[in-house]
Chain A
Amino acid sequence: MLKSISKYFSDIYNAVKSLLTGMKVTGYYFFHPKEIVTQQYPENKDTLKMFDRFRGEVVLIHDENNEHKCTGCSACELACPNGTIEIISDKAIDPETGKSKKIIDTFVYHLQMCTFCNLCIPACPTDAIKMAQSFEHSVFDRSKLTKVLNKPGSKIMAGIKE
């Protein structure tokens, strides 16, 4: 009997206490406009910086000499669950050894099929591809979503082996 009465009042006390804790949190947000997370998107286009982990699209990394690290092993193509990546490879003669070697002709990326699952990135043995932070992908023609990732005239970096 006494126990249930004390439980009744301690329930009221704990309820009021936890409700006030909740109101304290929202009250803090109300009086601190710096906590606002919303961004005014088209207005802040110049200063907008996406987060490092944001996955916008797959890009093939090129350095300043227009060289990339892709050996054309098609590990990413196999890792992709949707068939987003399509590597058309070619044969070329290695100038050092004189042997025939596999190189990429075109690295096709179908953005319209990509789910940004990030499975291709860790699959790459040479870290040739990465996820970029761009997100404005809308176009008026669907064919524009099929992209060729290797830049024209680019070639594989020296010393990259499968």
Chain B
Amino acid sequence: MNFSIYDFTGFVNSIHSWLNENFSSPIGDIIGMAIIGICFLTFLALLGLTLVYAERKICALFQQRLGPMRVGFWGTAQTLADIIKLIFKESLITKNSDKFLFNLAAFVVMISPVMAMAAIPFAKGLHVLDFDIGIFFITAVSSIGVTGILLAGWSSNNKYSLIGAMRSGAQIVSYELSVLLSLLTIIILTGSLQLSEIIESQRNGWWIFKGNIPAIIAFVIFIVSSTAESNRGPFDIAEAESELTAGFHTEYSGIKFAFFFLAEYVNLFIIAAVGATVFFGGWMPLHIGNIEFFNNAMDLIPPVFWFFGKVFALIFLMMWFKWTFPRLRIDQMLTLEWKYLLPINLANILLMSLVSLNGWYF
């Protein structure tokens, strides 16, 4: 075992070769997959707990409140207590609902973020699947989530759920375009969809700095449209507590409700991770050109901390505007996408192509 916090390649390879030596071909692979699955499930559970706590605390501070303070030190055990409560709650199914689809929907919404997570590079060598179409895979898979939301809304047999699901469908179909186009703006510079190559191309500086103005515009569009895609505020019209009770998950209770809740936060993580990877260099430490001593000093901080630092900074940014801006109406939201974000995005791609052709980036 040659474990190093700076490079996980050796560690991962040693586990892999140990499995191959001790087990025959299919069994070893299955055990390997099971290990990865267990790691991901543990990670997802911990991520859900921390993000829900962080959201409640950060939201409270933005609103001049204290947030959870009673359970544990500064309320740190609050989310754990909530999860225990949700596990023990009865999972109700309404009388005239489509029971099969109703149960299926809760799993479908969880499938998409878990699949997307497989393609995310957490640190050097800590990468489950390094597709050569990584970005394409993540964006394709994360739109499966809307199927779950539509199923949930349809099968609940509830008018609020159905309206919420239809709004969510309209929203995701329109904002998916902007997410992809804003990512394409950076793909023009990297010339590859493979996430490891995108990160490698940022060895001498992150794209948000290297790509100058079009990269910053692309980042703003990305963060706005991906927030909309994950149904988070100020675009949470699919849930819209004040008008639709809870939107598509009105009829869900107990652990199935927790699935929807968890899926929202895992989606938030995925979005922040993709944003961090494409615009902020993923696990790549902050490098400025070829200034050796500065780059070496930055390399001292392990890549895994860089990755999670960037991701949580982006999550903080998204929570910041969730708890600042009021919710958009459905027509305002579609106006924002089709009249503002999309034309700007297309013009921005043209601008980025010019920048790329003339070599105006660093």
| Number of A-B contacts defined by CB within 8 Å | 39
Q: How far is the CB of B319 from chain A (nearest CB, A)?
A: 10
Encoded as 1 (CB less than 8 Å from any A CB) or 0, chain B from 309 to 326 comes to 000000000001101110
Interface centre among A27, A29, A35 (most CB of B within 10 A): A29
> What is the bound-complex CA distance between A38 and B320, given in angstroms?
20
Given A12-B340, A19-B325, A23-B324, A40 contacting B69 (CB threshold 8 A) = yes
Question: Does B61 sit within 8 A of A, measured CB to CB?
Answer: yes
Instruction: Select one of B62, B65, B69 contacting A26, CB under 8 A.
Output: B62
- B94 at interface, CB cutoff 8 A: no
Q: How far is the CA of A50 from the CA of B321 in the complex (A)?
A: 34
Return the chain B residue nearest A40 by Cβ: B69
For B69, the chain A residues whose CB sits under 8 A away are 40
- B129 at interface by CB-CB < 8 Å: no
Question: What is the CA–CA distance of A36 and B323 in the complex, to the nearest angstrom?
Answer: 16
- Residue B63, interface by CB 8 Å: yes
From B58, B66, B340, B344, contact of A30 by CB (8 A): B58
In the complex, the answer to whether B62 meets A29 with C-beta atoms within 8 Å is: yes
Instruction: State A12–B7 Cα separation when bound (angstroms).
Output: 44
Asked if A153 lies at the interface with its beta carbon under 8 angstroms from chain B, I say no
A25-48 vs B, Cβ < 8 Å mask (1 yes, 0 no): 111011001011110100000000
Pair A36/B66 contact, Cβ less than 8 Å: yes
Closest to A27 in B: B320
Q: Tell yes or no: B64 within 8 A of A by CB.
A: yes
Instruction: Flag if A30 contacts B62 (CB, 8 Å).
Output: yes
B61 and chain A: residue at smallest CB distance = A30
Range class of the B interface residue count: 10 to 19
For the complex, what is the distance from the CA of A29 to the CA of B67, rounded to whole Å? 14
Residues of A within 8 A of B62 (CB): 26, 29-30
Contacts of A25 in B (CB 8 A): 324
Taken residue by residue from 62 to 86, chain B's Cβ proximity to chain A (1 for < 8 Å, 0 otherwise) reads as 1111100100000000000000000
Q: Is the CB of A38 within 8 A of B324?
A: no
**Contact status of A38 and B61, CB under 8 A, knowing A23-B320, A27-B320:** no
Residues from chain A with Cβ under 8 Å of B325 in the complex: 19, 22
| Complex CA–CA separation, A40 to B67 (angstroms) | 11
Instruction: Please determine whether A26 and B66 come into contact, CB atoms closer than 8 angstroms.
Output: no
Q: Give residues 42-74 of B contacting A (CB, 8 Å).
A: 58, 60-66, 69
Q: How far is the CA of A38 from the CA of B67 in the complex (A)?
A: 9
Tell me whether A22 and B324 are in contact (CB under 8 A): yes
Identity of the chain B residue whose Cβ is nearest the Cβ of A18 in the assembled complex: B325
Cα distance A25–B62 when bound, in Å? 9
Given the complex, which residues of B lie within 8 Å of A38, measured CB to CB?
Answer: 60, 64-66
Known: A23-B320, A23-B324, A26-B324. A33 touches B61 (CB 8 A): yes
- B66's contact among A12, A22, A23, A40, by CB below 8 Å, is which? A40
Sample of 7 further A-B pairs with CB below 8 A, known A23-B320, A29-B63, A36-B65: A12-B340, A26-B63, A30-B61, A30-B62, A36-B64, A38-B60, A40-B66
Residues of B within 8 A of A (CB): 58, 60-66, 69, 320-321, 323-325, 340, 344
**8 examples of A-B residue contacts, CB within 8 angstroms:** A12-B340, A23-B324, A26-B320, A27-B320, A29-B61, A33-B61, A36-B64, A36-B65
